[in-house]
Amino acid sequence: MTDHSKQKSRLAALRAELRLRGLDGFVVPRSDEFQGEYVPASAERLAWLTGFTGSAGFAIVLSETAAVFVDGRYTLQVRNECDPDIWSYRHVIESPRQAWLVEHLPEGGQLGYDPFLHSQREVEALKSECERLGAYAVACPDNPLDSIWEDRPEPPSGQVESHPLRFAGESVESKRQAMADELSANQEDAVVLTRSDSIAWLLNIRGSDVPHCPLALSFAILNADGTVDWFIEPRRVPDAVAESLGPAVRLHPANEFAGALGALGGKTVRLEPESAVAWIFDRLRGAEAEIRTGQDPCQLPKAAKNETEVAGTRAAHLRDGAALCRFLAWLDEAAAEGDVSEMEASRRLLELRRSGEHFRDTSFETISGSGPNGAIVHYRVTEDSDRHLQQGELYLVDSGGQYMDGTTDVTRTVAIGTPTAEMIHNYTRVLKGHIALATARFPVGTAGGQLDVLARRPLWEAGLDYDHGTGHGVGSYLNVHEGPQRIAKRPDSVALQPGMILSNEPGYYKTGAYGIRIENLVVVRPVTQEGERPMLEFETLTLAPLDRRLIETGLLTREERDWVDDYHARVLQEIAPQVDAATRSWLEAATQPLG
């Protein structure tokens, strides 16, 4: 559990600082100036203040009250980590920020925000909400929380490395030229790149600035002539890397970025308001640049993997599947003896992954949850929460690896001992939804949101659902959660394209009892058979058996049973040659036909 005494003292110190600045409140987001999912320790402001360690959320501190806002993934976690005596908990959809501000922010109140930490879209929404209340959203010249954070860690300083062409599949020169051609076609002089994963993709570089994702946090300006001004401390870029990029990529210290934005005055500059922070917009407006809002041009080509990247991710999934099967075989035996804890299981899986070629890191912190902990969607085991896997419970393990040739993400739910009929029934409904999405065929131009209902329908028929998306995009040795593609209830206009990798992960969670999730990664590919319209489908990449003990065969259609049997036959064929004799014997039993 989080040290609540620290939360109280830190909150009091922040309120004192806000009074000195004449502010009635302040917004503390999870994000940093690069707006990525992961932030370095030096930017973990929300966790430092509130104790909440989830990957998404924000807090609002007022003089007499304070709240932490999270989505459905974190409604249990926030209660475990934040002191209920000083923080109220709000669901961002069911209890939005606007409603809370109406109740608590006084008319004429000054609500501060750091323009380096909020996207332009977020600031526009915040200002609009405050205006409707007769209050004001005020940009702070510096962050008041930073003024009281005395033991703040140093920012990242690790070395950047090249991502070899044999893994990237396309040269930096080719990517720069393609992006420059798009800018020229749109009569734009430059685009400001604020997404570190876009810069990593464009320049074929990787870093170590944040946990789990191989990013070098930086900004860049891509010009219509194909040159790039990259703002990162030059000492972090080895000579060999700089030389490989060539003279068209110019390195500048990070503190020169503001001046470079000012030099864009009179030019037409593209900027993405969903990901670029408000400070950049303010700077360009001050320079009288013409701002064109539009999507980061690297996002779609990065998402639609080339043939080399798709081949690499298949190879990575083969090694990852072998590690996961060795883990599941070990777990089946060890859990029966009652000596396995959540932390031990997580460590064992990491050891097995580390033995794989090209392994660099986990792609996120492993979710290793038994019994009621499995019902916490983004559960993270700690010394305090660790529990042993017990008979009659379900164990949920969601994990992944970062390999130089691909990124993996897989979830398996396993019965420990004999599962209940309810567990089996609900698992099978999740499986039916997983199969429906895995076997979907859809016309070119279909967005992921149009497919979401396929995975939910079997659960809806039983009055069940899950409070997270069905699928997120996945990078190629980059972010495990990658846009712009997704499969979720929320409508979107991003059409799925060949080469896009996504997760397929429906689930069900019974609070205080158990969690179920089945996750494979899939890649979009064209349907080869002829028809009136060009069609697309999914190829499943993940290779690991499903727990047959949890499948209610009678609830499946013949086509669904065939899918499970065919998938298991493929897993056995591809994984068996990669594992030891004991694991192979377990795998043969685990992949037997359902009958």
> What confidence category does residue 1 fall into, taking pLDDT thresholds of 50, 70 and 90?
very low
Which helix or strand (DSSP H or E) is residue 410 part of? Answer: strand 410-416
Per-residue DSSP letter, 156: P
- Token pair for 498: 């060949």
Are 459 and 465 within 8 A, CB to CB?
Answer: yes
How many whole angstroms separate alpha carbon 373 and alpha carbon 340?
15
| Arithmetic mean of pLDDT, 293-297 | 96
Token duo for residue 116: 């380096």
Is the pLDDT assigned to residue 50 strictly greater than 90? yes
Query: Which tokens sit at 312?
Result: 């690499």
Name the burial class of residue 555, with classes exposed (0-12), middle (13-18) and buried (19+) by CB atoms within 10 angstroms of its CB: middle
Are 340 and 389 in contact by the 8 Å Cβ rule? The answer is yes
CB 175 within 8 A of CB 280: no
Q: Is the pTM of this model over 0.85?
A: yes
For residue 108, the cross-strand partners are none
**Are the beta carbons of 258 and 267 closer than 8 angstroms?**
no
User: Is pLDDT of 161 > 80?
Assistant: yes
pLDDT at 568: 98
Is the predicted pLDDT of residue 324 greater than 60, yes or no? yes
Residue 516: helix, strand or coil by DSSP?
A: strand
Q: If you ran DSSP here, which 8-state letter would residue 59 be given? A: E
CATH class of 161-296: alpha beta
- Residue 2 pLDDT exceeds 70: no
How far apart are the C-alpha atoms of 230 and 193, rounded to whole Å?
9
For residue 344, what are the contacts with CB-CB under 8 A and spacing of at least 6? none
Tell me the residue length of the chain: 595
**pLDDT tens per residue across span 198-247:** 999 999 999 999 999 999 999 999 999 999 999 999 999 999 999 999 99
Quote the CA–CA distance of 457 and 583 in Å, as a whole number: 35
Amino acid at 94: E
CA distance 199 to 417: 48
Q: How far, in Å, CA of 198 to CA of 407, rounded?
A: 16
Same CATH topology for 4-148 and 161-296: the answer is yes
Q: Residue 231 has what DSSP assignment? A: E
Rounded to 10 deg, the angle between the 452-460 and 421-438 helix axes is 160
**Residue 121 CB contacts under 8 Å (≥ 6 apart), including other chains:** 273, 274
Each domain of the chain, given as residue ranges in start order, spans 4-148, 161-296, 304-590
Q: Residue 499: helix, strand or coil by DSSP?
A: coil
Q: Kindly tell me if the per-residue pLDDT of 95 is higher than 90.
A: no
Model confidence band, residue 143 (pLDDT cutoffs 50, 70, 90): very high
Q: What angle do CA 32, 34, 38 make, to 5 degrees?
A: 65
In the predicted structure, residue 452 carries a pLDDT above the cut 80: yes
CB atoms near residue 382 (< 10 Å): 14
With beta carbons less than 8 A apart as the criterion, state whether 553 and 531 touch: no
Long-range contacts of 370-374 (CB under 8 A, 24+ apart): 370/342, 370/394, 370/395, 370/396, 370/416, 371/395, 371/513, 371/514, 372/511, 372/512, 372/513, 372/514, 373/342, 373/515, 374/413, 374/509, 374/514, 374/515, 374/516
Q: What does the pLDDT read at residue 3?
A: 65
Instruction: Look at residue 120 in the predicted model and tell me its pLDDT.
Output: 96
Is the model's pLDDT at 36 over the cut of 80? yes
For residue range 111-133, what is the model confidence (pLDDT) as tens digits? 999 999 999 999 999 999 999 99
> What does the block give as tokens for 544?
């690991």
Angle subtended by helix axes 581-590 and 558-575, to nearest 10: 170
Residue 489 has pLDDT above 50, yes or no: yes
Q: Could you tell me which residues are beta bridge partners of residue 412?
A: 397
User: Which CATH code is given to the segment(s) 304-590?
Assistant: 3.90.230.10
Q: pLDDT tens digits, residue range 61-86?
A: 999 999 999 987 788 888 889 999 99
* β 401-403/406-407 pair status: antiparallel
What does the radius of gyration of the chain's CA atoms come to, in whole angstroms?
A: 25
Contacts of 412 (CB under 8 A, 6+ apart): 324, 328, 396, 397, 518, 519, 544, 546, 547
Yes or no: say if 558 and 566 are a contact pair by the CB < 8 Å rule: no
As a whole number of angstroms, the distance between CA 25 and CA 101 comes to 10
Q: Could you give phi then psi for residue 192, rounded to 5 degrees?
A: -90, 120
In this prediction, residue 171 carries a pLDDT of 98
What's the whole-number mean pLDDT along residues 356-375? 97
Distance CA 540, CA 504 (A): 9
Cis peptide before 238 (omega within 30 of 0): no
Q: Could you give the angle at the alpha carbon of 476 between the alpha carbons of 474 and 478, nearest 5°?
A: 80
Q: What is the CATH number of domain 4-148?
A: 3.40.350.10
Cα distances from 307 to residues 170, 473, 525, 543, in angstroms, run: 10, 17, 11, 20
Task: Sort 299 into a burial class: Cβ within 10 Å, 0-12 / 13-18 / 19+.
Answer: buried
Burial of residue 552 (CB within 10 Å: 0-12, 13-18, 19+) is middle
Average pLDDT over residues 330-341: 92
Tens digits of per-residue pLDDT, 403-448?
999 999 999 999 999 999 999 999 999 999 999 999 999 999 999 9
Residue 5: pLDDT band with limits 50, 70, 90: confident
Whole-number pLDDT of residue 396: 98
